[in-house]
Chains A and B, each alone.
Chain A
Amino acid sequence: MSRLHENAPRRGVRPGRARYLVAAVCLAICVVMLLPLVMSFLASVKPPAEAAATPPTYLPHGLSFDSYRRLWSYQQGLPAYLLNSLGTALLAIAITLVLTVPAGYALARFQIPGKEVIFVVLLVALIVPYQALLTPMFLMFVHLKLTNTLLGLAIVHAVIQLPFSLYILRNSFSGVPRELEEAAVVDGASSWQALLRIFIPSVWPAIVTVALFAFIMSWNEFLGALVMMSRGDRFTLPLILAAARTETSLGGTDWGMLQAGIAISMVPCIAVYLLLQRYYVSGLMSGAVK
């Protein structure tokens, strides 16, 4: 089936002027969306005196990495926090995928009794505010010796991401054409081999989407980290950002250091997003349209 707009020739419905108008609108929107990000980054490279100026300057009058330096050696040192955040995020992705890929496969391609009920139950977790779940989970984790560990926090993050990930994957698995599966069966493949050789390559965009969102969520999550971590050397980046907000320099909040922290938080997310764009776009669009 042909898709709307994709390769349809311009039918001359739009006169040239409207084309320029549309282009201008697009450009304006891009500027508005990018402006906060750009200004934040520029603020992070301002020299300390300028970063603390009131009223603030738009563009930096000088270049200085002082804010980054202060952030680097803040409390236990930025590298420790970056590693904690990264480790937790990777573990969260791993746990989420290990659980939801087979589960999505099962829910989409197998006749399991009561699977609609199960699916709904799994989604119900979406509407319970996880903030109140944190204390019972914390107490449970104490007994499991999972507090102050990256694994424990990753489990919390996986819990939060599970419903959304499962939804995307199940829809994606549903969309794989029956013919492919039947061809594998004819070849004598077991369900496991079918999963590995046929399905996973087909739903790869959805997998990447799930991984991307799990990463973003875990990298930025604050309250769970606050509850689970009580040792300074296990803190994650969001905890340090919150603390950095109370730091002052030269008569005011240390905006420069805060911006440096914001920039460092944003860069991996945006980098991963730009690299994996291809996948997540089709992953989201295919996974959600059902």
Chain B
Amino acid sequence: MTIRLRWPVLAVATTLLVASCGGGTEAPPAATAGTATTSCASKGPLTMWERSGGNKEMVDLLVAAWNTKNPDCAIKLTYIPHTEMVGKIAQGIASGQVPDLMGMDLIYAPQFEKAQQLVDITPRIQDWTELKTASKGHMTVATYQDKVYGVPLYADVSALFYNKDLFARAGLDPDKPPTSLAELRTYADKITALGGGVHGYYLPGNCAGCNIFTVGPLMWASGAKIEAAGPGDEPLVGEGVKQVLEFTREMVKSGNVAPGARTENGETFHLQFGSGKVGMMGTGNFNITLARQQNAKMKFGISLLPGVTPGSSASFIGGDLVVVPKGSKRVNDSVNFMKFLMSDEVQVEVYAKALNLTTRSDMADNKYFRAEPLVRDVAKALTVGRTPYTFTFFEQINSPQGPWLKMLQRAYYSEDSLDTVIADAKTAMKKIAV
């Protein structure tokens, strides 16, 4: 069949293209192609894809900042529906019609790196001091077999947000957030007892990504492991899995979660805490500004997501990477954009000013954060944070139809034996990781 013949041709063609294309200054990736700067390497607009459903405000700000500084090579950004992103990227690469650079949900990076579909930028960035303090979670998934393929675009980290006003009303100390799951439960009960549409906790019932972001760390903090990294790897290992599922099941049964949460599919997840009707909830740093916008007078605090043992904690480091797809005609400019993102000025004046996490930990001490203790608190989560590393993240975990969400839904809303629920999920995840 013709496709079989075309594939090698396509592969050779794209290699030649990468090697010989561009505005004269493009060189084969193996060579150190000159020092990167934060301005244009060649003229002409840059095409960039980014997934929808992420931190759109942050990405828009970053692109706008670059476009203001470099109008000659301004970025034209296209948002792709995030559930279609993996398919779209694959199609783009297979057909050679790729954007110049891409924002990619970081947990998909290993899959594309393994398939050798991203440009290896190791030689270009190896002497960048900025990367020494870049988010570990991002850089781990950006690396495959000791080669680096991207840098952080933005970082999200999950933490436990708690409503100090509701704490005070329930007779809890507003400066003492819970440090274990058991405490979380006790506090939640007290807050729910206040009545008036107020609930102590929140569990999104129909959103796989929200749950890995905020319930996954509860399992990690309890010593468990979740994803199957690759073929033959065992997923869902550790007593923590069952303990956390029990915890969540009891939370729902005891009425600590609003019934409407059952249909939450992620579209309004980031607006729940700001409503002021939730006592405590796992959510991300992006919720600081959002909650303030929704509810300026609400007093709230941030602490780490706890596990079974008092004092244990974990967090999910998420966000996006900037990567360069194979076949991109503007590798130099893409790398320049990366340098721009990691530069001191952008870290402070764009990321920190918007009260988003800086992707470099050494830039966390800046004037904006000093005026905003909550951001400092949430940044602490980075130290206990981790990012899953697997080649089939979407299908195993993030997919609305995948085993992760199914397991959680059975735990939250059914009476099925948790052992069966976990065993079923394990089987499904192992099959996918093949």
The answer to whether A binds B is: yes
Residue from the list A136, A232, A246 in contact with B267, Cβ < 8 A: A246
User: How far is A231 from B79 in the complex, measured between Cα atoms in Å?
Assistant: 9
A242 x B81 contact (CB < 8 A): yes
A-facing residues in B95-153 (Cβ within 8 Å): 95-97, 99
Which residue among B53, B76, B95, B268 has the maximum number of chain A CB atoms within 10 Å of its CB? B95
B269-312 CB mask vs A (1 if < 8 Å, else 0) is 01100110000000000000000001000000000000000000
Q: In the complex, how many angstroms separate the beta carbon of B291 from the nearest chain A beta carbon?
A: 11
A243 x B81 contact (CB < 8 A): yes
B80 nearest in chain A by CB position: A230
Instruction: List the one stretch of B84-92, B176-184, B202-210 in contact with chain A.
Output: B84-92
B97 surroundings in chain A (CB, below 8 A): 142, 147-148, 230
Residue from the list B3, B52, B80 in contact with A139, Cβ < 8 A: B3
A242 surroundings in chain B (CB, below 8 A): 81
B-facing residues in A112-157 (Cβ within 8 Å): 135-136, 138-139, 142, 147-148
A230 x B96 contact (CB < 8 A): no
B96 x A142 contact (CB < 8 A): yes
A145 nearest in chain B by CB position: B97
Instruction: List the one stretch of A21-29, A188-196, A248-256, A280-288 in contact with chain B.
Output: A248-256
User: How far is A248 from B270 in the complex, measured between Cα atoms in Å?
Assistant: 10
B81 x A226 contact (CB < 8 A): yes
A243 x B268 contact (CB < 8 A): no
User: How far is A246 from B53 in the complex, measured between Cα atoms in Å?
Assistant: 7
User: How far is A246 from B91 in the complex, measured between Cα atoms in Å?
Assistant: 24
Residue from the list B52, B95, B99, B274 in contact with A251, Cβ < 8 A: B274
User: How far is A246 from B84 in the complex, measured between Cα atoms in Å?
Assistant: 14
User: How far is A139 from B81 in the complex, measured between Cα atoms in Å?
Assistant: 21
- With known contacts A227-B91, A243-B52, A246-B267, A251–B78 Cβ distance under 8 A: no
A142 surroundings in chain B (CB, below 8 A): 95-97
User: How far is A105 from B123 in the complex, measured between Cα atoms in Å?
Assistant: 65
B275 surroundings in chain A (CB, below 8 A): 251
A243 surroundings in chain B (CB, below 8 A): 52, 79, 81
A278 surroundings in chain B (CB, below 8 A): none
A212-251 CB mask vs B (1 if < 8 Å, else 0) is 0000000000000011001110000001001101101001
Q: In the complex, how many angstroms separate the beta carbon of A256 from the nearest chain B beta carbon?
A: 15
The verdict on B77 contacting chain A, using a C-beta distance below 8 Å, is: yes
B271 x A138 contact (CB < 8 A): no
- With known contacts A147-B95, A147-B97, A232-B78, A226–B84 Cβ distance under 8 A: yes
User: How far is A248 from B290 in the complex, measured between Cα atoms in Å?
Assistant: 12
B88 nearest in chain A by CB position: A230
User: How far is A139 from B97 in the complex, measured between Cα atoms in Å?
Assistant: 10
- With known contacts A230-B78, A231-B47, A246-B52, A252–B95 Cβ distance under 8 A: no
The verdict on A64 contacting chain B, using a C-beta distance below 8 Å, is: no
A139 x B94 contact (CB < 8 A): yes
A245 surroundings in chain B (CB, below 8 A): 267
A230 x B268 contact (CB < 8 A): no
A135 x B91 contact (CB < 8 A): yes
The verdict on A57 contacting chain B, using a C-beta distance below 8 Å, is: no
User: How far is A239 from B81 in the complex, measured between Cα atoms in Å?
Assistant: 9
User: How far is A239 from B96 in the complex, measured between Cα atoms in Å?
Assistant: 23
User: How far is A135 from B88 in the complex, measured between Cα atoms in Å?
Assistant: 10
The verdict on B162 contacting chain A, using a C-beta distance below 8 Å, is: no
User: How far is A231 from B97 in the complex, measured between Cα atoms in Å?
Assistant: 10
User: How far is A239 from B271 in the complex, measured between Cα atoms in Å?
Assistant: 24
User: How far is A245 from B52 in the complex, measured between Cα atoms in Å?
Assistant: 11
B78 x A231 contact (CB < 8 A): yes
The verdict on B49 contacting chain A, using a C-beta distance below 8 Å, is: yes
User: How far is A248 from B53 in the complex, measured between Cα atoms in Å?
Assistant: 11
A251 x B271 contact (CB < 8 A): yes
- With known contacts A232-B76, A248-B268, A139–B95 Cβ distance under 8 A: yes
User: How far is A239 from B97 in the complex, measured between Cα atoms in Å?
Assistant: 19
A251 surroundings in chain B (CB, below 8 A): 268, 271, 274-275, 294
User: How far is A243 from B97 in the complex, measured between Cα atoms in Å?
Assistant: 22
A65-78 CB mask vs B (1 if < 8 Å, else 0) is 00000000001000
A253 x B267 contact (CB < 8 A): yes
A253 surroundings in chain B (CB, below 8 A): 267-268
B99 surroundings in chain A (CB, below 8 A): 230
A231 surroundings in chain B (CB, below 8 A): 47, 78
B84 surroundings in chain A (CB, below 8 A): 226
A228 nearest in chain B by CB position: B91
User: How far is A271 from B275 in the complex, measured between Cα atoms in Å?
Assistant: 42
A230 x B49 contact (CB < 8 A): yes
Q: In the complex, how many angstroms separate the beta carbon of B53 from the nearest chain A beta carbon?
A: 6
User: How far is A239 from B78 in the complex, measured between Cα atoms in Å?
Assistant: 12
A-facing residues in B246-279 (Cβ within 8 Å): 267-268, 270-271, 274-275
User: How far is A229 from B99 in the complex, measured between Cα atoms in Å?
Assistant: 12
A248 surroundings in chain B (CB, below 8 A): 267-268, 270-271
B270 nearest in chain A by CB position: A248
B267 surroundings in chain A (CB, below 8 A): 245-246, 248, 253
A147 surroundings in chain B (CB, below 8 A): 95, 97
B271 x A252 contact (CB < 8 A): yes
- With known contacts A139-B3, A243-B52, A248-B267, A232–B96 Cβ distance under 8 A: no
B81 surroundings in chain A (CB, below 8 A): 226, 239, 242-243, 246
B77 nearest in chain A by CB position: A232
B80 surroundings in chain A (CB, below 8 A): 230
- With known contacts A135-B91, A138-B95, A230-B49, A252–B79 Cβ distance under 8 A: no
B-facing residues in A141-189 (Cβ within 8 Å): 142, 147-148
Interchain residue pairs A-B with the least CB separation, the first 7: A232-B78, A142-B95, A251-B271, A252-B268, A253-B267, A246-B53, A246-B267
Given contacts A142-B96, A243-B52, A251-B275, 20 further A-B contacts (CB under 8 A): A75-B79, A138-B91, A139-B95, A142-B95, A147-B95, A230-B91, A230-B92, A230-B97, A231-B78, A232-B77, A239-B81, A243-B81, A246-B52, A246-B53, A246-B81, A251-B268, A251-B294, A252-B271, A253-B267, A253-B268
Which B residues are within 8 Å of any A CB, using their own CB?
Answer: 3, 47, 49, 52-53, 76-81, 84, 88, 91-92, 94-97, 99, 267-268, 270-271, 274-275, 294
9 A–B contacts from the bound complex (CB under 8 Å): A147-B95, A226-B81, A226-B88, A230-B88, A231-B47, A232-B78, A243-B79, A251-B271, A252-B268
